Amino acid sequence: MLDKNVERLLSEPWGAAQAGVQYNKEVLGSLCEQFSRLEPQARRGALQGTLFMRKGQRDSLKNEVRTLVDLATDDKDQWVSLIARALGGLRERFDLQQLQQDVPAVSY
C-alpha cells in the first residue's frame, strides 16, 4: 500500500528522480495495484521515475516496469498515456520518435 508521502513525492517537480532510485518489486507492485487511483501528476511521476532507475534496478525489475508502462498506455490522462507510449517504444528507455508520432506538435 502506497502512503500519501509517496504519491506527494511523485507529484513534485523532481520527485520522480528521488523516487525512481528507490524502486523495488514491492514499490512497483503497489504502484501498479493503485495506479488508477493516483492523481494524474503522480501517475506521470511514477512513469518518469523509471527513467532514473539504476542499471541494476532496471535489469532486475524489467517485468514490473513493463507492467506499469502497459497499465498507463491507455490512461485517460493524455500525458500519462504519452509518457507510457514513449517509454514502451524502446523497452523502458524514452523514445522521442514515438513521442513525435503521438504528438506532432512536439516536432515543431
Q: How confident is the model at residue 89 (pLDDT cuts 50, 70, 90)?
A: low
Written as one string, the DSSP assignment of 56-103 is: HHHHHTHHHHHHHHHHHTT-SSHHHHHHHHHHHHTTSS--HHHHHHH-
Instruction: Report pLDDT digits (tens) over 11-70.
Output: 998 999 999 999 999 999 999 999 999 999 999 999 999 999 999 998 999 999 999 999
Percent of the chain with pLDDT over 70: 84
Say if CB 107 and CB 100 are below 8 A apart: yes
Residue boundaries of the structural domains of the chain: 4-107
Nearest Cα neighbor of 87 from 53, 52, 50, 39 is: 50
C-alpha to C-alpha distance for 31 and 80, rounded to whole angstroms: 14
